[in-house]
Structure 1
């Protein structure tokens, strides 16, 4: 199936940090499951970039808190980039934020988790499984005004936490990101080393949060 992929620019400083302290990947098969509003799941994004790729997502989507809401934010409405998270991370893990900015002239709504996966390129293969959802964070429905930001935090275990034989580290080109309840993805280029062994060193994604403070 052909994928519509919008390529977005990531923040240069983060690319340098992540290239050194790589996190390991996401949750599902070759196509990353789109984010959804209910609880279990997993993404790609940014800038004023070219067209993007429609990938119907097979795994773990769940029902949508905003699914049917004509005002919800759709693919193409938001610019997505990667930014360093306050605090940087914890022992053995690297935190970063997916930053979403409403590029339309109207207010739209968000609820749930974005779908996030490591991929080998803008139209590349998924590496490992999509990011699992952070069960400690509760998603909230909120409105996003024109040109206002939101974010979701990604936690990535460092590949050094695992032996090479168990981790099978590989170079990923960036994230594939789905907005909640969307089936088209954006690609955010952020080169990093991640685990390719199935289920080892998976990333974790938090829910969409209004603004840029925790």
Structure 2
């Protein structure tokens, strides 16, 4: 009788211990977190939009480069690429472009004329790019007495709606030292999505 009582007591103790352990353990489902749903919008890369107001892209937050160019019948077409290195920002309109030369980086001839184009406002996320198509005319095809062609060091580019510029060296660049009525050495289009037409 004594032995049977001890066995029953031990069994009860074991059941009680198991019940206590089961109560203290947190159910596995309570530790899981609810997944966050991200809704993509129509940005250029499909990235989620930045929160809050988006400001205009400043020169300091843009990496400005020349893309792959191609020549045709006395013209050289090259994209000027603006890549955002900062937070999301907007870019719209035309860049300012001109030739520069010399240690003083003086302007050579007239700045780029604006070609009629559709003006778009683009939102650039970090690492995204927009470009402006630049047309460089072979100035040696102009009347040299009117153009007075000279060597240039490269291009000075003002990103749209900015007063800060970037210098882009360009080997073999040449511009007209004089202004020419009715003829342009440079023309530029408004910014478009991507890094070039190709």
For structure 2, which runs of at least 5 residues remain unmatched after alignment?
A: 1-52
The yes-or-no answer on 1:93 pairing with 2:75 is yes
Larger Rg: 2
Contact kept? 2:54, 2:88, Cα under 8 Å: no
By how many angstroms is 1:213 displaced?
4.2
Q: TM-score, normalization: structure 1?
A: 0.61
Q: Which residue number in structure 2 is paired with residue 159 of structure 1?
A: 139
Structure 1 residue 74 corresponds to structure 2 residue 58:
yes
1:175 aligns with 2:155: yes
In structure 2, what is the equivalent of residue 119 of structure 1? 100
Aligned residues: CA RMSD: 1.8
Aligned residues: 142
Q: Is the CA contact (8 Å cut-off) linking 1:109 and 1:143 kept in structure 2?
A: yes
Question: What's the secondary structure of 2:60's corresponding residue?
Answer: coil
CA separation in 2, counterparts of 1:123 and 1:145? Answer: 35
1:114 and 1:180 in contact (8 A); partners too: yes
**Larger RCO: Structure 1 or Structure 2 (Cα < 8 Å, ≥ 6 residues apart)?**
1
Structure 2 counterpart of 1:4: none
Counterpart of 1:143 (choices 123, 126, 132) is 123
Quick one: distance in 2 between partners of 1:181 and 1:126?
19
Matched, 1:185 2:180: no
Q: Is the 8 A contact 1:170 1:196 kept in 2?
A: yes
Q: Aligned equivalents of 1:127 and 1:189: distance in 2?
A: 14
Match in the other structure for 1:196: 177
* Structure 1 stretches lacking a partner, 5+ long: 1-68
List, as ranges, runs of 4+ consecutive aligned residues in structure 1 with deviation greater than 2 Å: 199-202
Conservation of the 8 A alpha-carbon contact between 2:140 and 2:149 = no
Q: Secondary structure at the match of 1:100?
A: strand
| Residue 207 of structure 1 pairs with residue 190 of structure 2 | yes
Q: Give the TM-score normalised by the residue count of structure 2.
A: 0.66
